[in-house]
């Protein structure tokens, strides 16, 4: 089965609902960049994919960084002298600053206050905060909760551990005819956050499932990693693989109702950049294409100057532009099955461009061939897009001089890549075109 | 006489009226891609130009195509049982589908109906239909006519012939100092259609007449050919000529009141593309410049990848964008002498760019020369465009470093090419500039 | 002291007021392209700068030109038969056409009239006229004045002299570490005109003063010259210097309230063109960037094809676009201290780009370095632009691959060059970056 067949075989609408269900299942888990929450997330994904799970020991040097101690947490709360839990980790795992050191102390509100984080401009929302590389602790809560706290002697407990352990990540490879690889990466290190984190995880999983049964031209490598330290670790341990990376996508924030946003790789004009731009351009949907900048998700590492990999980043609304970002409002209400479906469809369409892009040679380059004589008008009489199809044939014939790929042709003609490949197939069958 | 002198010698307004008269004369003739109508059209043109008429036998292989049988027609009609001609070729030659096989039969309206073509959205107009490469027959009529047809036994007659004969085309060469050629091509294969077909024929004829008396730098070759099969035939028979084609224009739909539209050659930046864009840009008139696409007129063949000739296409309103296209409404009312005149003037202006474009060397490249001392301010005191003329001299001096042609200078300065050449002439006379 | 320190040390607001005062002091002097007025202007500037004053004899050949005779004037008037001076040089030095030959004659209004110049569309203003290279004379006056002149026998006196003498110009060099030079040129040959002429003179003087105390990377050469003949003369006498000119600015019309306008050098993409565009782009202020044209100020000579120097031109409202240009209304009311201050600040910012632009190498090119570990987040906690600063560090790290200069990085990131250099300094201090 080719990728084209595999793409045709899946129903994006169903995939969208299934991805949403997976997100709902993963939502309650308290993930961080290391620890049992991350492992348990990979366990869930392993029901869908035959994931390879890697464990990298704390203290491992990875370029300029060191794999941190493993963090785990069982409970955390702030209790009044009357024994009431006014902040309770069991209610939301966002209540604890990620990587908080263990605490068991009694203190006044005044003493506790510097450890409390709120969002005054969104008084009902709990912020998401982390302190990976500083020994620190804290609680996040809504402004409303904070406003209700009276002076008291509070019992403050964080039942966490920071011990030598492992950084865990998952990897899944769909082997292709070529050793050249398409890298798909998502971060899976955030606790109960849906758009930023779980939408990318679910999309990467479903893309891997869709390709798993096919025999692709390129190999597809899927990474489920903690943000920053995870991509740095993977890059450090896989330098030998990097020359084979011909394209890549970082996926994040792909479930909200906004239009798609593609951020180009550092080089800006690699095949994945052009494929994604073409797919978005011909989609008819609102979208945005932005130049690379060295801030964002793990494309920062993939596109660092020592690697400069052809890796872009796909989002719907980018992180900095939706107010729910890194708050408890990035929940199951923020994301939608049809948005996930659209992100899924778009990635597959871009993969199809990579898979099917090639250069052909017009066997009859002097004047147009007589298409009518070969039934190439009649043969397509039943199509509703007959005129577009004929136009696509003329474009393919005109530009198949050995210097233009099908993607070049699709870009110049502003015709959908799929239509261009179908026209190509018809011309190949008629003997008018040969793959170079 | 240089082309510049020849251009000055003609009055576009008179030419516009003369072209209109020629179109009116050619309008009644029933042309097709072969046959007596085409020959008779060339006979009419031969009164203006010493045309070479070529006859290419049916069955001649021309690349992927074969020259078809010759089609001629003397009469055609649909007659009621009462003997009334309800469709009559004598009323309009559009009534018969071009290349209809002979018919003489009696049939019901039900049997006749599949052979009748109308335009329901323009109920008064007769469509223009052809069936060159399928044995077929049919009538075209207005929707109003169709609506009036009652059930009856109709006598259906098409007195046509399809026999081995010839494809005819006309050719006219204005020899120049250089063997390099400018190709001007128009299709002359449509029956009573004015804008699409006859306007291009008339314009090509008048351009040829205007240049005929001059001693141009380049040779100018004018082709009066049937569409598609004509250009394919000419290309097949003249491959040796093609390396000498330095520029070309396909002319069609150049008589309607719309603004001019130039479609670039496949390469997009050849000298004719730049000349035409510059002339339109500095004309002050509404116009449009479009990239090449492999659909349209005979530029499709000239720009096929095996040739990739520097040939663009000039229209006023392009074929697909005026409702009268390929209908009986593309008649003498649709076209205008002043539109023809403007198309004429524009082509001559583009030819002047080709003729006079050259690279000069500023003989005084360090600082500006003192123009006042040479009377180059005084000398031009009487011009109303003195300031523009001085500016043109400064641009020519500044950019004549051996790396910029006059067209480069005209493009960068956005000054009319004619003004740039006049400034050049003045500077050459003053010894400040030498042709490279 | 580096240029950066020198820039920080000056207060543009104070400089703006001081420049305005200098202009007020120079305003009454009757300057022309030669003569005592020009010398006296340089004497005034010499109080601020240790100017080198050059005297070039009349008759000296400078390329296609000849240094003209020296013109001086002591008085001029038109007197009625009743002895009333109706036009009086003492009231405004604009009243005499510059380079008028001596006159002492009695004539009717009819005879005088061809020698009188007015601006009917601005009836209160006196125009500014010159006749350097034609033996001629004339008076300029307001239309109101002209309207009041009755028929009379007028005594017409111009007490001027045209004698072999000198063309005078001033030059000031701030020597830098490199022999490469930045050329700053202004014309100082206009009489009582503020924006066109004196604003540029004052700005060049204050830029020279600001740099005088510093130890710049490049040498800065300031020219105070008569327009056209002055730049031609300087170029003719200094051809050996020209290969060392790495950038240059012609300054004129830099005191009016309009936004800044930069006109690119002939090459269009030299470092000064890019520096100026970047500074204007990131200034947040309205501005305009125009391509080179061979009309304007002395950039015409510096950018003539035999030199093609990287010299642009900075104006606020360009000469052709403010009605007061070359009239008595280009006076002390037209210009403003804060406009002068803004022009000053902008030039210094562009000089900083030239001074500090360099290419660095990221010492840790594989993935981002861990900035937090090095205190590069904490260290900058007190800045209000912390986020921008961090972003600047990421950009510098990402693009410092040896192929991008700091100006490249500033352009691509659209971050202020100053922020980019500060981020660079921090990274150099941390050992993460090394100058190439």
Residue B399's Cβ-side half-sphere holds a number of Cα atoms within 13 Å equal to: 26
Find, among B311, B322, B205, B207, the residue nearest to B253 by Cα.
Answer: B322
Q: Check residue A213 and give its pLDDT.
A: 83
Enter the pTM of the model: 0.94
Q: What letters, b where the CB count within 10 A reaches 16 and e where it falls short, cover B395-405? A: bbbbbbbeebb
| Partner-chain residue, chosen from C293, C300, C307, that has the shortest CB–CB distance to B366 | C307
- C383: confidence class by pLDDT, cuts 50, 70, 90: low
Distance from CA of C65 to the nearest CA of B (A): 6
| Average pLDDT, integer, range B144-158 | 97
pLDDT at B387 (0 to 100):
87
CA distance B299 to chain A (A): 10
Counting residues of chain B whose pLDDT is more than 70, the rounded percentage is 98
A-contacting residues of C 413-432, CB under 8 Å? 413
- C-alpha to C-alpha distance for C59 and C55, rounded to whole angstroms: 12
**Helix ranges (DSSP H) in B74-161:** 109-112, 143-148
Closest residue in A to C401 (Cα) is A305
Strands B153-163 and B116-117: unpaired
Residue of B359, B361, B366, B420 best to disrupt the C interface, most CBs of C under 10 A:
B366
Angle at B410 (CA atoms; ends B408, B412), nearest 5 degrees: 65
Q: Are A133 and C362 an interchain contact pair (Cβ–Cβ within 8 Å)?
A: no
Task: Please name every residue paired with A187 in a beta bridge, in sequence order, or none if there are none.
Answer: A225
Whether C396 has its CB under 8 Å from any CB of chain A: the answer is no
**Of A366, A397, A401, which has the smallest distance from its Cβ to B235's Cβ?**
A366
Chain C interface test: which of A305, A307, A320 (most C C-beta within 10 Å) = A305
CB B214 within 8 A of CB B3: yes
Strand pairing category for B287-290 and B260-263: parallel
Mark which residues 255-274 of B lie under 8 Å from A by CB: 266
Question: Which residues, other chains included, contact A316 with Cβ-Cβ below 8 Å and sequence gap of 6+?
Answer: A195, A253, A254, A255, A256, A257, A258, A259, A260, A261, A339, A343
**What angle, rounded to 10 degrees, do the helices at C12-26 and C199-212 form?**
130
Q: Is the pLDDT of residue B150 over 70?
A: yes
Q: Which two tokens stand for residue B135?
A: 């044995």
**CB-CB: which of C364, C366, C397 is closest to A307?**
C366
pLDDT beyond 60 at B122: yes
Contacts of C230 in chain B (CB under 8 A): none
Q: Is C20 left (phi over 0), alpha (psi -120 to 50) or beta?
A: alpha
Report the distance separating Cα A372 and Cα B133, nearest Å: 8
- Nearest-angstrom CA–CA distance, B88 and B80: 12
CA distance B179 to B190: 32
Look at residue C100 in the predicted model and tell me its pLDDT. Answer: 97
Position C387 scores a pLDDT of 87
The whole-angstrom separation of Cα C315 and Cα C429 is 39
Instruction: Among B367, B370, B395, select the one facing C235 at the smallest CB separation.
Output: B367
Give the minimum alpha-carbon distance from A424 to chain B in angstroms, rounded to a whole number.
Answer: 15
**Has residue C25 got a pLDDT over 70?**
yes
Please judge whether C367 and A293 are an interchain contact, meaning their C-beta atoms are less than 8 angstroms apart. Answer: no
Residues of chain A found within 8 Å of residue B293, distances taken between Cβ atoms: 391, 395, 413
pLDDT reported for residue C384? 60
Rg, C-alpha atoms of chain B: 25
Contact B398 C65 (CB under 8 A): no
Cα distances (Å, whole numbers) of residue C123 to A284, C144, C326: 60, 6, 14
The b-or-e profile of B211-235 (16+ CB within 10 A means b, else e) is bbebebbbbbbbbbbbbbbbbbbbb
Among A367, A415, A420, pick the best mutation site for testing chain B contact (most B Cβ within 10 A): A367
B127: pLDDT strictly greater than 60: yes
Confidence of residue B379 (pLDDT cuts 50, 70, 90): very low
- Cβ pairs A/B, distance under 8 A: 62
Q: Which of B170, B272, B275, B182 is nearest to B220 (CA)?
A: B182
A306/C contact by beta carbon, under 8 A? yes
Q: CB–CB of C304 and B400 under 8 A?
A: no
Q: Kind and range of the H or E element at C56?
A: strand C52-57
Contact B392, B419 (CB under 8 A): yes
Residue B118, classed as helix, strand or coil, is coil
- The whole-number average pLDDT for the span B24-48 is 98
The answer to whether C189 and C230 have CB atoms below 8 angstroms apart is: yes
CA–CA separation, C16 and C338 (whole Å): 6
B266–A401 C-beta distance less than 8 A:
no
Query: What's the sign of the alpha-carbon dihedral C260, C264, C265, C271?
Result: positive
Residue that is written with structure tokens 């077929």 in the block? B136
Q: How many CB atoms lie within 10 A of CB B308?
A: 17
Distance from CA of B135 to the nearest CA of A (A): 13
Measured CA distances, C222 to A113, C183, C309 (Å): 62, 6, 15
Give the minimum alpha-carbon distance from C304 to chain B in angstroms, rounded to a whole number. 5
3-state secondary structure (DSSP) of residue C94:
helix
Query: CA of B64, closest CA in chain A: separation in Å?
Result: 5
Q: What is the mean pLDDT of chain A?
A: 96
Q: Tell if the CB–CB gap between B64 and A370 is shorter than 8 Å.
A: yes
Q: Kindly state the tokens that stand for A417.
A: 């890549």
Q: Are C60 and C119 in contact (CB under 8 A)?
A: no
C363 within 8 A of C434, measured Cβ to Cβ: yes
Residue in C362, C373, C412 closest to A305 by CB: C362
- A19/A15 Cα distance (integer angstroms): 6
Q: How confident is the model at residue C38 (pLDDT cuts 50, 70, 90)?
A: very high
H-helix or E-strand containing A362?
strand A359-362
Q: How many helices (H) and strands (E) does chain B have?
A: 13, 19
ipTM above 0.85, yes or no: yes
Q: Do C370 and A293 touch (CB under 8 A)?
A: no
Q: Tell me if B367 and C63 make a contact (CB, 8 A cut-off).
A: yes
HSE, side-chain direction, 13 A CA sphere, residue C372: 6
- Provide, as residue numbers in chain A, all residues whose Cβ is less than 8 Å from the Cβ of B307: 366-367
The percent of residues above 70 in pLDDT, for chain C, comes to 98
Longest dimension (CA), chain C: 92
Token pair belonging to C419: 């922020």
Alpha-carbon gap: B259 to the closest alpha carbon of chain A (Å):
24
Check residue A3 and give its pLDDT.
Answer: 85
Average pLDDT over residues C428-436: 97
The answer to whether residues C87 and C77 touch, using CB atoms and an 8 Å cutoff, is yes
Does the pLDDT value for residue C30 go beyond 50?
Answer: yes
CB A193 within 8 A of CB A104: no
Three-state DSSP at A281 gives helix
For C53-94, the pLDDT digits (tens) are: 999 999 999 999 999 999 999 999 999 999 999 999 999 999
Q: How many CB atoms lie within 10 A of CB C9?
A: 11
Low-confidence ranges of chain A (pLDDT < 50): 379-382
For B29, the token pair is 């003739």
Question: Are the Cβ atoms of B398 and C305 closer than 8 angstroms?
Answer: yes
Closest of B421, B257, B425 to residue B349, by C-alpha: B421
Confidence (pLDDT) at C379:
45
Statement: residue C234 has pLDDT above 90? yes
**Residues B398, C136: Cα–Cα separation, whole Å:** 30
For C235, which residue in chain B has the nearest alpha carbon? B367
Q: Taking CB atoms and an 8 Å limit, are C398 and A294 in contact across chains? A: yes
Q: What is the pLDDT of residue C416?
A: 96
If you average pLDDT over every residue of chain B, what do you get? 96
Classify burial at B35, counting beta carbons within 10 Å of its beta carbon; exposed 0-12, middle 13-18, buried 19 or more: buried
- Tell me, what's the pLDDT at C11? 95
Asked whether the predicted pLDDT for residue C316 surpasses 50, the reply is: yes
pLDDT at B380: 44
- Residue B195: pLDDT above 80? yes
Percent of chain B at pLDDT > 90 equals 93
Q: Which chain B residue has the Cα nearest residue C132?
A: B372
Q: Which of B62, B63, B64 to mutate to test the interface with A (most CBs of A within 10 A)?
A: B64
* pLDDT over threshold 90, residue C5: no
Residue A360: count of CB within 10 angstroms of its CB:
23
Listed by number, the residues of chain C in 343-372 with a beta carbon closer than 8 Å to a beta carbon of chain A are 362, 364-370, 372
C406-413 and C417-429 helices cross at what angle (nearest 10)?
120
CB A141 within 8 Å of CB A116: yes
Query: Roughly how many angstroms between the first and final C-alpha of chain A, as a whole number?
Result: 23
Report whether C316 contacts C260 (CB < 8 A): yes
Q: Which of C266, C291, C306 sits opposite B365 (nearest CB)?
A: C306
């Amino acid at each position: 089965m080719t990728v084209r067949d595999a793409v045709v075989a899946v129903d994006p609408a169903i995939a969208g609902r299934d991805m949403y269900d997976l997100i709902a299942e993963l939502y309650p888990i308290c993930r961080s960049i290391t620890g049992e929450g991350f492992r348990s997330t990979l366990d869930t994904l392993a029901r869908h994919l035959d994931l390879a799970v890697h464990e990298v020991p704390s203290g491992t040097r990875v370029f300029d960084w060191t794999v941190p101690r493993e963090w785990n947490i069982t409970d955390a709360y702030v209790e009044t002298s009357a024994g009431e839990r006014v902040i309770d980790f069991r209610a939301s795992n966002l209540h604890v600053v990620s990587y908080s050191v263990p605490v068991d102390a009694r203190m006044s509100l005044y003493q506790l206050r510097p450890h409390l984080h709120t969002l005054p401009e969104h008084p009902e929302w709990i912020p998401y905060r982390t302190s990976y590389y500083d020994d620190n602790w804290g609680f996040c809560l809504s402004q409303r909760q904070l406003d209700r706290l009276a002076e008291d002697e509070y019992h403050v407990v964080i039942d966490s551990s920071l011990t030598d352990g492992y950084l865990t990540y998952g990897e899944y490879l769909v082997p292709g005819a070529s050793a050249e690889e398409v890298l798909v990466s998502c971060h899976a290190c955030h606790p109960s956050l849906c758009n930023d984190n779980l939408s990318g995880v679910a999309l990467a999983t479903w893309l891997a499932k869709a390709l798993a049964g096919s025999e692709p031209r390129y190999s597809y490598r899927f990474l489920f990693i903690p943000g920053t330290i995870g991509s740095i670790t993977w890059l450090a341990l896989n330098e030998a693989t990097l020359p084979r990376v011909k394209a890549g996508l970082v996926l994040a924030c792909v479930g909200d109702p906004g239009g798609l946003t593609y951020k180009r790789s550092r080089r800006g004009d690699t095949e994945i950049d052009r494929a994604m731009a073409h797919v978005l351009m011909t989609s008819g949907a609102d979208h945005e294409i932005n130049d690379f900048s060295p801030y964002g998700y793990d494309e920062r590492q993939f596109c660092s100057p020592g690697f400069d990999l052809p890796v872009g980043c796909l989002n719907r609304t980018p992180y900095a532009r939706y107010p729910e970002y890194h708050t408890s409002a990035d929940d199951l209400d923020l994301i939608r099955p049809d948005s996930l479906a659209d992100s899924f469809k778009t990635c597959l369409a871009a993969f199809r461009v990579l898979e099917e892009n090639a250069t052909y040679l017009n066997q009859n380059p002097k004047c147009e061939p007589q298409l009518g004589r070969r039934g190439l008008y009649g043969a397509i009489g039943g199509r509703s897009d007959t005129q577009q199809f004929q136009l696509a044939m003329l474009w393919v014939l005109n530009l198949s001089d050995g210097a233009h790929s099908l993607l070049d042709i699709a870009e110049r003609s502003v015709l959908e890549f799929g239509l261009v490949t179908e026209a190509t197939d018809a011309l190949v069958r008629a003997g008018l075109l040969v793959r170079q």
